[in-house]
Structure 1
Amino acid sequence: MRPQSIYPTDRPLPRPNGADGRSHLSDSLNIDAAQFAAFDALLRDIYPEAEQVDAARVSQLAAWLLSLPEAEARDVLDERLSRIEELRAMVEDPDWDCAEADCASVRKLLRYLDQPDDLITDTIPLLGQLDDVLLLELAWPAVAAEAEEYRDFRLYRDTLHPDGDGAQRRAAWIGDRMAAISILHRRMRPNDGLHLDDRQRGQRFRVA
């Protein structure tokens, strides 16, 4: 129903800059090679085309986050943490008929996020949730379509309060969205230039 985005927010995390990036940050986080390998394996299990995560990637991202004003850094995290809660709501919502493959991917992601001692221990101020939002960011293309449709459905349900059970509410949502698309197409059709006769086209493009 909605266009799919490859990022969970409209402000993507910065891309790796190609530098080594290994610094005291990655060392101070006490992450060993086996932990990086496990994180990368989980990421690729959810989204096989995801970019690799290593010490340089995490160090660069940590340095960038710490360079921001604290309120802005918190916004970066909170924007993505709110999307995580939407995913949690999606798989728990009895009204939503989640595609099995998509829900399986979301549950894998959530199981990781629910661990207090994952790639970066959650108790570390600010940086403790960096691995959580990085996993979400890089795995997002695997769950984006389902997540965006659910977000649209929930907005529809909360705004219009359709009657019936979950299946009936989903059917009402789909019907109304398809009707809106049909109306939009009809409105665009007279303006596409294909229904104008030659005289009208000549008037339209005449230079005064």
Structure 2
Amino acid sequence: MYAQIATLNPLPAALQSPAWAGSRHPNRRRHMGDFLIRAEALAHFNQLLARLQHFPLDRDQLATASRELAGTASPTRSASIHQRLQLADAVERMVGDTAWQPADEVIAPARMVMDYVHGRHTLITGSLPPVKRLDDAILVEAAWPQLAGEVDSYLDFCRLRAIEAELRGCAVGQLNFARADWLQGRHAEAGLIAHCRQVGESSYLPTPATRSFRVY
């Protein structure tokens, strides 16, 4: 579905593995273009990553990632960031929707993503076009293993809620539709799909009857 990271354009390869940092010179490069990566800002960012069970990053990794993003002419250089910001928007919609009750375990990582995306204490400041909001994208990807299932459920909830509102001839905002209604709707939908599949695999034509008489 929409919330699967595997279907998105990948972030730069330099950010994908903790082993990458150890094989190079983590203290050599400290700049992303003309922007100095501040040690204290990176330390704070790595604390957030640790809370999401994600490995820390170093300045050399970020510098290399920025060069990769700036050095390609492909439009996917910004698509990978933009796609993860769309996921962040989905998280914000989910948390802000009073009709949806998020599972307890996703509230903390969801709030962390929202606070960082909208906060002032960001790792990458300014408006560097190739890498603008790369730190937001990194944090979203780090949080996604904990959020993906719940966001998928929420998006499906929105789908069924819209269908129900259309059937009742009212606006979505006027419909009293909660998580329990979504679960009930999913169950009914699954039953309908199973029935249609069964009908498609069978025939309504009767089995030829066994003759009950003999011709002598």
- TM-score class, shorter: 0.7 to 0.9
State the Cα deviation string for residues 31-88 of structure 1 (Å, max 9, x = none): 132222210111222x22x122221321232122112336332322221111111111
Distance 1:40 1:171, change over 3 A: same
Q: Which amino acid aligns with 1:174?
A: L
3-state SS of 1:128 partner: coil
Q: Is the Cα contact below 8 Å between 2:30 and 2:59 reproduced in 1?
A: no
Distance 1:60 1:32, change over 3 A: same
Of 172, 181, 184, the residue aligned with 1:172 is 181
How far, CA to CA, are the matches of 2:12 and 2:111 in structure 1? 26
Report how far residue 92 of structure 1 moved.
Answer: 0.6
How far, CA to CA, are the matches of 2:2 and 2:78 in structure 1? 27
- By relative contact order (CA 8 Å, sep 6+), the higher-ranking structure is 1
Q: Which residue of 2 aligns with 1:198?
A: none
TM normalised by structure 2 equals 0.70
Distance 1:26 1:3, change over 3 A: closer
How far, CA to CA, are the matches of 1:76 and 1:179 in structure 2? 37
The within-5 A match list for 1:26-45 is 26=32, 28-45=34-51
Report how far residue 133 of structure 1 moved.
Answer: 0.4
Q: Does 1:152 align with 2:161?
A: no
How far, CA to CA, are the matches of 1:158 and 1:171 in structure 2? 15
State the Cα deviation string for residues 97-131 of structure 1 (Å, max 9, x = none): 11233122211121111124510004332312011
How far, CA to CA, are the matches of 2:164 and 2:73 in structure 1? 39
Q: Which amino acid aligns with 1:124?
A: L
Number of equivalences: 184
Q: Which residue of 1 aligns with 2:103?
A: 99
In structure 1, stretches of 5+ residues that fail to align are: 192-208
How far, CA to CA, are the matches of 1:95 and 1:147 in structure 2? 14
In structure 2, stretches of 5+ residues that fail to align are: 169-174, 202-216
TM superposition outliers: structure 1 runs of 4+ over 3 Å: 2-5, 14-17, 21-28, 179-188
The within-5 A match list for 1:47-126 is 47-48=52-53, 50-69=54-73, 71-126=75-130
Percent of aligned pairs with the same residue? 26
How far, CA to CA, are the matches of 2:6 and 2:119 in structure 1? 21
Q: Which one has the largest radius of gyration? A: 2
Of 123, 132, 135, the residue aligned with 2:136 is 132
How far, CA to CA, are the matches of 1:4 and 1:70 in structure 2? 23
Q: Is the Cα contact below 8 Å between 2:88 and 2:113 reproduced in 1?
A: no
Larger deviation, residues 27-36 vs 127-136 = 27-36
Q: CA RMSD in A?
A: 3.1
Q: Which residue of 2 aligns with 1:10?
A: 8
Larger deviation, residues 72-81 vs 134-143 = 72-81
